[in-house]
Amino acid sequence: MRKVLAIVMAIMLAAITFAGCAKPADQSATADAAKSNGKKIFMSSAYYTAPYGAPLQQAVKDKAAELGYEIQIVDGEANADKQLSQFKTAVADGYDALIYWPGDTASTPPIVEYLNSTGLPWVALNTMVDDSILDKVPCMVCSDEVEIGRALGRLILEYFEKNPSDTKNVAYIEGSPGSSYTTHLTEGINEIIAASDVVILNDHMYSEYDPSKAMTIMDDLLTKFGDKIDLVVTQDGGMFQGAYNAISAAGKLGQFGIICQGQDLIVKEKLESGELYASVAQDPYREGSLSVEMLDKLIKGEKVEQWVVNPTGPIYKADIPNYTWF
Amino acid sequence: MKKHTLDKDYIGTFLIRNAVSMMLLVFVVAMIFTKRSFFTADNIVNIINECSVYGVTACAMTVAIICAEFDLSASSVFAWSTVLFVICCNAFGIVAAFFITLASGAVMGAFNGILVAKVRIPAFVATLGTMTAIKGLAYVVTDAQPINTSNETLYAIGQFNILGITIAPIVFALVILIFIWFLKYTRFGRNIYATGGNYEVARLSGINVEFSKFIIFVLLGVCAAISGMLYCSRIMAGWAPYGGDLSLYCVAATVIGGTSLLGGSGGVHRTIIGVLLMAVLFNALTLLGVDGSMQKFIRGLVLITVIMFDAMANLRKRV
């Protein structure tokens, strides 16, 4: 038994050593894609493992490689204190520029203050910073989340215009309580539908961007409201997938419309099949790519807009070729 | 010849028993030679500051594990404390906020203690329930929104440092000293070892085992509240999802340090090694340019390796 344990441990230690010493994939990609300019970018991603994070981070890597930068991306685990510490480590290690994807708005002031104190060029990405320090951010690359909500709201009104019914009842599934994205989308939707006779049937139902939770919520909504539902709206493609599965399992596909936000492959597939009325664009790949573009300009001392907006708008079946899908 | 065998056994046992300390040493030495930026004052201070906030709760979790219990709700008490502390700072000022948050942590810990020690609900189930309830409370009170404070005294405390060492490591050091004294030099501390080692024997020996179990949860609640307040001093904000990984971090640091999950042995001094190893490892992987996904993998491997060492040490003990 002791021999077995010793062998297992030896293998693990060897694996740790090799993994630790392995050259980061991003650096080799940099070497392949363009001649390195010798500068290093460090990114702390609050939502490293989120579905939206994967294409965004890939875009950051791709753009950095294209422009000749070395890049390291670490998981901030939505922990502001950890992110602050990661930036301090990166600064101690001589990184030349920084990308900050905050976990939430409220905790951004001390980190923004620290990033400014380093004197290094940096950009904020995806999540908006707190209003109190908005003017201290050299460049913020993110979507206008309220505008995405408005686009969803306009799609809701448009759907009911094209599909008239006695009632205009919406079942609405949201992301995470308190996240700026969730809050702002709901704000935008409410702003547009406020003057209409559209009714959101349910109170806040949060699936935390988890398709399986969205499926459970949709099951519950179907049980509670049944035939009263005229339209289902979800805040992203993952949640759409969960809701779609629940509707499909209940045999209710086609009995009401579905609208969502997102550019996931499932969204593309259901747009093509006509089961999804429309989606709203928020391109993570473009967002990630833009952040490195802006950072590159800051490194070169060029001027950039303080808020670079990731474009949004409705996506219908006919628009599919104009967008990237992930 | 016999003496030689004994020495070999002694060395083998010593190496396995102190595997984590040696891993830490090897890591540090390897990093000093690999990365020039590792052994700089700024980076060392950064490591110490980083690990101290969670370290405070890890000390209390160690005591709980010695008593053969653990607390899943520590992360929720932490999150609730950040929320309550920020609200109270904005409403009543920092002094009142400190005492209210501390008392709230103690009450939540006491509630867990009653459920486990008096009502005899297994800690896993009891603290799983309170974890969800307390997190929910934090969401309800804040309407799920993150909140921040611009309290100047809190900001000054957050910025205070001696040669870069902030308030968190100072508090962490104090907590370590208190717990070491408590476990080693008080009768109550020794009762916790006895309770964790063998509950029935401890009870039949006249030890108030229920009180021992009750008090460790109170300590955990208080320490989670202190960690929450320290966290607030660094980021000036509170939110229900904060500290989601705290409970598992504390258990991992305790186990890595060498305290057995079976209870009855271990100590806070060991947990310091566990906390430091995790912080050094995290820092080293970042400095080595290891990507986020690979970092998770390596951290998991280290945890498994350490548990294997622990298993080996236990086998040696039995042989």
Beta strands in B41-139 (DSSP E): none
pLDDT, tens digit, for every residue of B215-246? 999 999 999 999 999 999 999 999 998 998 89
Comparing CA positions, the residue from B184, B78, B69 lying closest to residue B138 is: B78
Minimum CA–CA partner of A208 in chain B: B241
- Distances in Å between the Cα of A140 and the Cα atoms of A117, A122, A183, B239, B285 are 17, 9, 19, 23, 28
pLDDT, tens digit, for every residue of B71-108? 999 999 999 999 999 999 999 999 999 999 999 999 99
pLDDT, tens digit, for every residue of B129-168? 999 999 999 999 998 888 989 999 999 999 899 998 999 9
Domain pair A25-138+284-311 / A145-280, same fold: yes
pLDDT, chain A, mean: 88
Topology at the third CATH level for domain B39-318:
ABC transporter involved in vitamin B12 uptake, BtuC (1.10.3470)
Contacts of A6 in chain B (CB under 8 A): 312
Q: How far apart are CA B13 and CA A232, in angstroms?
A: 64
Between chains, do B291 and A24 touch, taking CB under 8 Å as contact? Answer: yes
Please give the pLDDT value at position A10.
Answer: 55
Between chains, do A12 and B42 touch, taking CB under 8 Å as contact? Answer: no
Nearest-by-Cβ selection for B50 from A19, A85, A176: A85
Between chains, do B297 and A183 touch, taking CB under 8 Å as contact? Answer: no
CA A136 to chain centre: 23
Topology at the third CATH level for domain A145-280:
Rossmann fold (3.40.50)
Chain B contact for A9, CB < 8 A? yes
Write the CATH number of the domain with boundaries A25-138+284-311: 3.40.50.2300
pLDDT, tens digit, for every residue of A196-222? 999 999 999 999 888 889 999 999 999
Residue of B239, B280, B296 to mutate, testing the A interface (most A Cβ within 10 Å of its Cβ): B239
> How do the pLDDT tens digits run along chain A, 326 residues long?
555 545 555 555 555 555 554 444 444 444 444 567 789 999 999 988 877 888 899 999 999 999 999 999 999 988 899 999 999 999 988 999 999 999 888 899 999 999 999 999 999 999 888 889 999 999 999 999 999 999 999 999 999 999 999 999 999 999 988 778 899 999 999 999 999 999 999 999 999 888 889 999 999 999 999 899 999 999 999 899 999 999 999 999 999 999 999 999 999 999 999 999 999 999 899 999 999 999 999 999 999 999 999 989 999 999 999 988 88
Q: How far is A237 from chain B (nearest CA, A)?
A: 23
Q: How many of the other CB atoms lie within 10 Å of CB of A95? A: 22
Between chains, do A178 and B316 touch, taking CB under 8 Å as contact? Answer: no
Minimum CA–CA partner of B227 in chain A: A81
Chain B contact for A275, CB < 8 A? no
Query: Which residues have a Cβ under 8 Å from the Cβ of B277 and sit 6 or more positions away?
Result: B20, B23, B24, B27, B256, B257, B302
- Answer whether B179's CB lies under 8 Å from B65's CB: no
Report which listed range, A141-145, B110-114, B289-293, is most confident.
B110-114
Domain definitions of chain A by residue range:
25-138+284-311, 145-280
**pLDDT for residue B260 is more than 90:** no
Q: How far apart are CA B185 and CA B67, in angstroms?
A: 16
- Answer whether B188's CB lies under 8 Å from B133's CB: no
Nearest-by-Cβ selection for A8 from B37, B49, B308: B308
Residue of B26, B45, B46 to mutate, testing the A interface (most A Cβ within 10 Å of its Cβ): B46
Confidence band for B306, pLDDT divided at 50, 70 and 90: confident
